[in-house]
A and B are shown apart, each in its own frame.
Chain A
Amino acid sequence: MEKILLRSIDIPDSHTLQVYESCGGYRALRKALKEMSPEQVTEEVKASGLRGRGGAGFPTGMKWGFVPKDSPKPKYVVCNADESEPGTFKDRLLIERDPHAIIEGIVLASYAIQSHTAFIYIRGELAYGAKVLEAALQEAYRAGYLGKNILASGYDLELILHRGAGAYICGEETGLLSSLEGGRGWPKVKPPFPATHGLFGCPTVVNNVETLVVVPWIIDQGASRYAATGTEKSKGTKLFCVSGHINKPGVYEVEMGYPFKRFLEEDCGGVPGRRQLKGVIPGGASMPVLRADEIDGVQMDYESMQAAGTLLGSGGVIVMDDSTCMVKAAWNIARFFAHESCGQCSPCREGCHWMEKIFARIEKGEADSGDLDLILNISGNIMGRTICPFGDAAAMPAAAFIKKYRDEFEEHITEKRCPLR
């Protein structure tokens, strides 16, 4: 498989402009600015079938197409580098090793929607990444890939790096925009959507780091080459971040549609020692867990994961072997969401903590038989009833853990202790 996303990260000094250019960097930008109209860039991305890699999988070209062309307001492109989904560390790798690919992707996206100011919103904790990006920005400005009259094309773009202050919710695109505007990182009610009323009320495209890194490749190599990879509906390759009880953890670039079981057992070397696989979360902590017996036949693409009752999400693969207490795992995830809820919507603000408290009681052996159905009911009352997808993100794993490992939860309740401790 030809690597698209991790095409140059193993080359020494891959983060520098010199190395990036020597590998064909900024060739796509030159091509776009010299030979392509903004509409053609958007059409090319549409034709590639690229879907957003932030988690939701929305078609990227279509997103760009929603930006009104005749708006008198300024337009913005925002790169979402607020990678904070537990189990996810793919964007960080790209930021640290291939910052110019991100910058080139942003310039292309900005050109496509005719934006003249773009932002990178980077998670506050990624201090080193921010440093690398800042240095790359300076290089790009000096080389004329950013700023006024880029590559003598007459096109201008200012690109500003902004560090977040550390909140999971700022990874949600409208929460990110609120934060970037200087306010609390509160997701905004939709409609209106960012494409028409985004940053400072202006038309805005928010794209994930991984999404933007693909764009130069598509422009350089052509949409049809990209569309030839992956499955019918999930094109291209995707990064997966493998962590937990696995022999070879790390970031993997995988062609969409690759068999999940083979990936875990062969590419990642399987579960260490003589332990057995107990469960795996395929797309970051907010996605429903799969039992070991559920991964047979599942492919690593949007549709197959959905058919299996979970979602591809961010590609954060969290592997758990049979030493894992699933109650504790569920509690851990619930605690994360209870802490990170932005606090706006009643169901999420109150419900996440409520579920967390019940999970804690189950793990401590202080729960009774009604508590499992209570959590299922609470998660159902959060699901789909909040401003942003955070409510779903908290509700889905809570319900999935109970549904899939109900025996283990009931054992905790009847034995009034954690049987794995």
Chain B
Amino acid sequence: MDSVKLTIDGREIVTTKGKKIIQAAAEAGIAIPYYCYHPKLSIAGNCRMCLVEIEKMPRLQIACNTDALEGMVVLTQSLKVSEARKSVMEFLLINHPLDCPICDQAGECWLQDYYMQHDLSDSRFEERKEPDRKREIFGPYVVFDGERCIKCTRCVRFLQEVTHTEELAVLNRSDDSTITLFPGKILDNPLSVNVVDICPVGALTDRDFRFKVRVWYLQKTPSICPGCSTGCNISVETYQNRIARFKPRVNEAVNSHWLCDEGRYCFHALTEVERLSSPLIRQEGGLVPTDWEAAFWAVLFGLAKAEPFAGLLSGRNTNEEAFLFGKLMKRLSPEPALEVVYRERELTDVEKILKSPDRSPNFRGARDMGASTNGGFETLLEGLLQGKFRNAYVIGEDLVSYAADKEKMLSVLERLSFLVVQDTHLTPTAKLAHVVLPSTHFGEKDGTYTNRKGRVQRLNAALVPPPGALHDWQIFARLLSDAGEEISYRTPAEIFQQISQEIPRYRGLSFSEIGELGVQTGDDRSHP
């Protein structure tokens, strides 16, 4: 590629031909402020915040639409530029309600941030502010405040250019301009909440999140969406040891800037459950609490009988857990029937932009770890229904919910001679178990997921698990050593180290190398 040399703020910068000034500057660590520009959307050039001075050009130019050219001399901090920025800030704020204390965007509002960085002057506007629509419901998750809108049109362009669903448009002219739903449409496409993420101000907010917590109280943990096997990179944002929201993290190799609505809100069902606080064991009259020692002993005793048994992992188990589970099952049975939950569904065109057809974020990783020995999840389910197995060990999934004939599944499970269920809460499946082991969910543990395309990515604990629960990998490690296996690896990082020695596709990888953006495993490693 041709390179171009230019000077920005006195620094010589080399960039590739075809880059805009705003991109060339960003590469060099020079931040030019902007609202309407978005690297994944067409250039609108309307906010005028990125005006910069270019030598030999009489007028200021917008950095988002001006090509970086050889020999160009650009000033992003000159008096002319900072005065222009101040004036753009003033224009954007004259009709903007200055009620930040009650605005949910406060703390992550670009108007606030840029005001502090580039303006800091008092308003000279003494007229009446123009009113606009407040609290208009755009869709199941998105609400609009017209007065806070700066008409950058990022939302409109996203819906035109990314989802092609075109629910929103600009209506009216001049300062009556406003964003509106097309008549008869609602903003309910499967990627709808991305408009909230890209809205730089408080005009579009997330109905699920707003007014629940001020954003400056949020703790942010980089992690992976557990919603499906795309493996979208997310920031898990928590408050008082609860997940408040998911936000997408930029990863061009996976999800770009986006996150689907289903994935975004999947934490509710996965985490907002009544947690088990101790292991349970079946006695006359039902399940009663017991301690971990007794529970471990019961599991090993129950599974040690040489009867055909099925081991079923959740699609949300990490690679480390799948690896240990495989080892444990082989320890207990010469030919264990192992599977990881995996089921596909039809996706619409908009869903296909991001979603995978399953809801098992780590089915591929689990299979890589050898946790699939039985010809697939459906085969195992079939075998179970046909009574092929006497014992079963089910991790983190409610089997009953997967059966077409739920009554039949219930009666099959009831007839098993020994059923272990390891889960966060007492599911209908767990209620039939002989031993129930309380475990943790994706938000509480460290580990790795391997997405559908074979990219291994880090899951990071964002929450502290409730007392009484153990991580699945802790349970497996304990059962393994109780069963007599010598294991020297006792943390996810150590287990992964072992994986990188034993599993060819993962050879040579390390936890730290995976980093926040993941790495491609196996044959595909040449295409990161």
For window 316-354 of chain A, which residues contact chain B by CB distance below 8 Å?
Answer: 338-347, 349-354
Decide if B177 touches A343 in the complex (CB within 8 Å).
yes
Decide if A343 touches B170 in the complex (CB within 8 Å).
yes
B152 to chain A, nearest CB (A): 9
User: Is A12 engaged at the interface, CB distance under 8 Å to the other chain?
Assistant: no
Decide if A343 touches B175 in the complex (CB within 8 Å).
yes
CA of A346 to CA of B151 in the docked complex: distance in angstroms? 8
Interface of B is mostly: loop
Decide if B170 touches A339 in the complex (CB within 8 Å).
no
Complex interface: chain A residues within 8 A of B88 (CB)? 346-347, 385
Decide if A167 touches B65 in the complex (CB within 8 Å).
no
Decide if A345 touches B65 in the complex (CB within 8 Å).
no
CA of A77 to CA of B60 in the docked complex: distance in angstroms? 31
User: Is B402 engaged at the interface, CB distance under 8 Å to the other chain?
Assistant: no
User: Is A72 engaged at the interface, CB distance under 8 Å to the other chain?
Assistant: no
Complex interface: chain B residues within 8 A of A352 (CB)? 174-175
CA of A346 to CA of B90 in the docked complex: distance in angstroms? 10
Decide if B48 touches A343 in the complex (CB within 8 Å).
no
Decide if B84 touches A343 in the complex (CB within 8 Å).
no
Residue of A nearest to B172 (CB): A343
User: Is B218 engaged at the interface, CB distance under 8 Å to the other chain?
Assistant: no
CA of A345 to CA of B45 in the docked complex: distance in angstroms? 8
User: Is B130 engaged at the interface, CB distance under 8 Å to the other chain?
Assistant: yes
Complex interface: chain A residues within 8 A of B169 (CB)? 184
Total count of chain B residues near the partner, CB < 8 A:
37
Which of B45, B51, B169, B172 gathers most chain A CB within 10 Å?
A: B45
Decide if A385 touches B151 in the complex (CB within 8 Å).
no
Decide if A167 touches B92 in the complex (CB within 8 Å).
no
Decide if B48 touches A354 in the complex (CB within 8 Å).
no
User: Is A273 engaged at the interface, CB distance under 8 Å to the other chain?
Assistant: no
User: Is B489 engaged at the interface, CB distance under 8 Å to the other chain?
Assistant: no
CA of A342 to CA of B124 in the docked complex: distance in angstroms? 24
> A341-B175, A387-B46 in contact; A346/B91 too (CB < 8 A)?
yes
Complex interface: chain B residues within 8 A of A1 (CB)? none
Residue of A nearest to B95 (CB): A350
Of the residues A191, A345, A384, contact of B60 by C-beta under 8 Å:
A384
Decide if A385 touches B60 in the complex (CB within 8 Å).
yes
User: Is A225 engaged at the interface, CB distance under 8 Å to the other chain?
Assistant: no
Decide if B173 touches A340 in the complex (CB within 8 Å).
yes
User: Is A160 engaged at the interface, CB distance under 8 Å to the other chain?
Assistant: no
Complex interface: chain B residues within 8 A of A345 (CB)? 45-48
User: Is A358 engaged at the interface, CB distance under 8 Å to the other chain?
Assistant: yes
Complex interface: chain B residues within 8 A of A353 (CB)? 130, 174-175
User: Is A357 engaged at the interface, CB distance under 8 Å to the other chain?
Assistant: yes
Name 24 A/B residue pairs within 8 A (Cβ), A-sorted: A184-B169, A184-B170, A189-B44, A338-B174, A339-B173, A339-B174, A340-B173, A342-B173, A344-B44, A344-B151, A346-B91, A346-B151, A347-B48, A347-B87, A349-B175, A350-B95, A352-B174, A353-B130, A353-B174, A353-B175, A354-B127, A381-B90, A385-B60, A387-B45
By Cβ-Cβ distance, the 9 closest A-B pairs, closest first, are A343-B177, A189-B45, A381-B87, A350-B91, A357-B127, A341-B174, A344-B46, A384-B59, A353-B175
Report which A residues bind B (CB closer than 8 A).
167, 169, 184, 189, 191, 338-347, 349-354, 357-358, 361, 374, 381, 384-387
